[in-house]
Structure 1
């Protein structure tokens, strides 16, 4: 007996997404408008200016040293314990898990993979751009500074720009980017700005970053958020590709299962080439009666015409119990061995 295939958890997820293949009408995809392009260019110019100010050891480097000698963690020690936990809002691992859980629920509700794909694209850009800047400039942090007044560049460090600050800007700002209404976008933008500002200043308080590291981290995260509309076509193609791979995998799994047999007596449709008159519309033949009954589901009895019980050879899963044909006793004769019905 053929049973229905039991759906896996992945099948249930894709079935939920297939319920509404098109994106909801009230959710618009951000476009790279002229206003956004101007903001992106301005932020990029600010990014380059900060880097140049550190390279030439300008007044910004001196201000970094003044803040470091001020030692905020000694000025306000009563908030040290709280800020040790607050800075976790800028760590990539915990924040990525929290935001991914929320966006996963959004994907489930909106029947689209776009929220999760946008988060993945933003984190990928963050790792590439910020990681490359850290390794290429190699600035040392305040706790490892070698000489007072120097910019501490190209000495093997990895703190410029601040990864905590850039990560806070991107992970919390992605909620505002994916907001479905203008009001929600404004509120989430304000919340993400406060969180990222607090995380950056907390790293300065703890002495793990220079102030210029934090400023550059804000600019690096904002550049990623502003550049996300350029990634939207690629994200849409990735979503389509994931569903295509899912369909191909599902068809491959179904191809291994036996095809269902056509029911007996069902009408058979012929193509125009098979019809005798060459009609353009398909011809439906009337069902033809089967010449013999269908095979039983058990499969133990061989198909064939109906015979008398004495003329049949019983077939069981372990074989026949009757002797060969040459030793069979004909009907009507006396036999020392009684005949059984098998």
Structure 2
């Protein structure tokens, strides 16, 4: 398959990659409101307000003893909030989407969101060092700065981000709304399960929901960096592919099509990268015109007056087997026959 035919197929290939969400005014208001809720929860716990009192009341209630029949099921259900299993499951699905779309954007979005989540939630955990219900020392205290790492809830925040990324990458409004509801219900269930098992305070879960939502709302700010990394990685992958499989692209590219050491992109109006071409190939004989037909370079032509005249040799009439040439003399018999017929 020639290079131009391969590129035409890549350009015509339908893609389900949606335009990345923009940081709209509504999203900014949601981000600011969630950030205010995040700060209010932290202040409430630090001030040992009614929120801490409610934490202790739920802990003394011991939900896992009130409903022991669902304990075994919730032990497995809480895995939906663990970073390792959920990241592997979602990465497998997004990896298939990357292969289908021929780009790395879904996996890079997942990686960027998990990186931002680990930085923000990890810093908060280590900064406030709160102990969990099973290790509480003083009844009624907020258990802050005692060497713990449960505030905010990592399970809850991870469930919000990992499953929320699927809704963030949805290609249609209906899919986005459906996946958003599913992700919200999953994160709600994981958070309440940690409270049921006694591994987190209620305030831990509330802060985990806010922390995960802040990461999702901040993702449009990371999109330019994600696209920049994607372009570089795609260029590297294509160069490696051409080195390993040099026969996969038989038709070389034009000599003046690409600059040395760079890659060329064909970008649609919505910013989607449709085709990335590797460089370093030799010139090809014919390029393609916009209408798809091969276009050959112009050749020098001479005018009719500059051409050398050529004298035709022999008769221009085609030879016939039953016709006698004029140079042959007629016989007397043939002459008498012609006179008789006349």
Partner of 2:154: 163
Task: Return closer, same or farther for 1:205/1:100 CA change in 2, 3 Å cut-off.
Answer: same
Offset at residue 39 of structure 1 (A): 0.3
TM-score for both structures, normalised by structure 1 = 0.68
Distance 1:127 1:237 in 2: 22
Number of residues of Structure 1 aligned to a counterpart in Structure 2: 249
User: Could you list the runs of 4 or more consecutive aligned residues of structure 1 that deviate by over 6 angstroms after TM superposition?
Assistant: 251-255
Distance 1:282 1:127 in 2: 63
Distance 2:16 2:70 in 1: 46
Partner of 2:76: 85
Task: Name stretches of at least 5 consecutive residues in structure 1 with no aligned partner.
Answer: 1-14, 256-268, 270-280, 284-342
Matched, 1:114 2:102: no
Report if aligned partners of 2:128, 2:144 keep a CA contact under 8 Å in 1. yes
Task: Name stretches of at least 5 consecutive residues in structure 2 with no aligned partner.
Answer: 1-5, 247-284, 286-297, 301-342
Q: Which residue, 217, 220, 236 being the options, matches 1:229?
A: 220
Partner of 1:133: 124
Offset at residue 105 of structure 1 (A): 1.1
Distance 1:37 1:21 in 2: 36
Offset at residue 246 of structure 1 (A): 2.7
Report if aligned partners of 1:23, 1:112 keep a CA contact under 8 Å in 2. no
Structure 1 SS opposite 2:218: helix
Partner of 2:86: 95
Offset at residue 19 of structure 1 (A): 3.3
Task: Return closer, same or farther for 1:20/1:155 CA change in 2, 3 Å cut-off.
Answer: farther
Task: Return closer, same or farther for 1:54/1:244 CA change in 2, 3 Å cut-off.
Answer: same
Structure 2 SS opposite 1:73: helix
Partner of 2:169: 178
Partner of 1:154: 145
Partner of 1:143: 134
Offset at residue 108 of structure 1 (A): 1.6
Partner of 2:231: 240
Distance 1:62 1:135 in 2: 23
Highest relative contact order (Cα 8 Å, sep 6+), 1 or 2?
Answer: 2
Backbone CA RMSD of aligned residues:
2.8
Structure 1 SS opposite 2:214: helix
